[in-house]
Structure 1
Amino acid sequence: MACHRARSRRHRLCPRLLRRVRRRGGALPRRGNGRLQDRCVRQGRQRDPGPAIHPHVARSRDRVRHRGPGSRRPFLDGGGRPSGHAPGRGTPGRLHQRFAGTGRPDQVTPGAGRPEPPRFRGHEALRASLRRSLARRTLPATVLIHGMPGCGKQSLALWLARTRLCSGADKPCGRCDSCRRALRLEHPDIHWHFPLPRPKRTSGPAKLAAALEDARFEKLAEFRKNPLRAEGDTEVKGIYLAAVLTIRDHAHRRPAVGEEQVFIIGDAEYLVPQEASPEAANALLKLLEEPPDGSRFILTSGTPGSLLDTIRSRALPIHLPPLPVEEVAAFLREECGADPEAAIRAAKLSQGSIGAALGYLEPDGDQSRQRTRALDLLRAATGGRRADAYTAAAAFPPGGGRGLLGLMGALQLWIRDLGAAGLGRDDQVVNVDELPFLRDTARRLALTPDRIARAVGQVEEASMLARGNVNPQLFMGTLLLDLEEILEPA
Structure 2
Amino acid sequence: MSNSTMASVTQYWPVIGHEWAIEHLDRALRHNRMRHAYLITGPGHIGKTTLARAFAAALVCTGEHAPCGECRACRLIAHSSHPDLTIIDSGEKGSVLKIEQVRDLQQVLSLRPYEARYRVAILRRFHEANPAAANALLKTLEEPTRDVVIILTAESTDALLPTIVSRCQPIQLRPLPLQTVRDALVERYDAPPEQAEMLARLSGGRIGWAIAALQAPEELELRQQAVVLLEQALQGKRRERFKLVEGMPGDKGALLPLLDVWQGYWRDALLLASGSQAPITNYDHAEQLSALAQAIGTAAAHHALDATCRTIVALGKNANARLALEVLMLDYPTP
Q: Is the 8 A contact 2:182 2:200 kept in 1?
A: yes
Query: Are 1:262 and 2:92 an aligned pair?
Result: no
Match of 1:392 in 2: 244
Q: Is the 8 A contact 2:263 2:305 kept in 1?
A: yes
Match of 1:159 in 2: 54
Give deviations 1:278-317, integer Å, cap 9, x for gaps: 1111111111111233211111111122111111111111
Query: Are 1:297 and 2:150 an aligned pair?
Result: yes
Query: Are 1:244 and 2:99 an aligned pair?
Result: no
Q: 1:309 to 1:472 in 2, by over 3 A?
A: closer
Q: 1:400 to 1:434 in 2, by over 3 A?
A: closer
Q: Is the 8 A contact 1:166 1:173 kept in 2?
A: yes
Q: Is the 8 A contact 1:141 1:297 kept in 2?
A: yes
Q: 1:386 to 1:363 in 2, by over 3 A?
A: farther
Match of 1:449 in 2: 298
C-alpha displacement at 1:167, in angstroms?
Answer: 1.8
Q: Is the 8 A contact 2:233 2:244 kept in 1?
A: yes
C-alpha displacement at 1:152, in angstroms?
Answer: 1.0
C-alpha displacement at 1:386, in angstroms?
Answer: 3.4
Q: 1:126 to 1:471 in 2, by over 3 A?
A: closer
Query: Are 1:280 and 2:116 an aligned pair?
Result: no
AA at the equivalent of 1:476: L
Match of 2:7 in 1: none
2:320 and 2:223 map into 1 onto residues whose CA distance is 18
AA at the equivalent of 1:174: G
Give deviations 1:331-360, integer Å, cap 9, x for gaps: 222343322212111111111111221343
1:114-129 correspondence runs (5 A): 119-129=14-24
Query: Are 1:429 and 2:324 an aligned pair?
Result: no
Q: Is the 8 A contact 1:151 1:355 kept in 2?
A: yes
Name structure 2 gaps, 5 residues minimum.
1-12
Match of 1:71 in 2: none
Q: Is the 8 A contact 1:400 1:470 kept in 2?
A: no
Q: Which deviates more from structure 2 when the two are superposed, residues 462-471 or residues 338-347?
A: 462-471
1:18-417 correspondence runs (5 A): 119-197=14-92, 233=93, 236-272=94-130, 278-361=131-214, 365-366=218-219, 368-381=221-234, 383=235, 385-397=237-249, 399-417=250-268
Name structure 1 gaps, 5 residues minimum.
1-117, 198-232, 273-277
Match of 1:479 in 2: 328
Task: Give TM-score, length-normalised by structure 1.
Answer: 0.61
Aligned length: 323
Q: Is the 8 A contact 1:267 1:301 kept in 2?
A: yes
Q: Is the 8 A contact 1:151 1:321 kept in 2?
A: yes
Q: Which deviates more from structure 2 when the two are superposed, residues 239-248 or residues 385-394?
A: 385-394
Q: 1:450 to 1:462 in 2, by over 3 A?
A: same
Give deviations 1:213-249, integer Å, cap 9, x for gaps: xxxxxxxxxxxxxxxxxxxx4xx41221111111101
Q: 1:449 to 1:252 in 2, by over 3 A?
A: same
C-alpha displacement at 1:426, in angstroms?
Answer: 6.7
Instruction: Compare relative contact order (CA 8 Å, sep 6+) and give the higher one, 1 or 2.
Output: 2
Which has the greater radius of gyration?
A: 1
Q: 1:417 to 1:126 in 2, by over 3 A?
A: closer
AA at the equivalent of 2:263: Q
Higher helix share: 2
Match of 1:465 in 2: 314
Q: Is the 8 A contact 1:172 1:179 kept in 2?
A: yes
AA at the equivalent of 1:435: A
3-state SS of paired residue (1:296)? strand
C-alpha displacement at 1:431, in angstroms?
Answer: 1.4
2:278 and 2:214 map into 1 onto residues whose CA distance is 22
C-alpha displacement at 1:155, in angstroms?
Answer: 1.0
Give deviations 1:153-207, integer Å, cap 9, x for gaps: 111111111111112232222232212222232211111222215xxxxxxxxxx
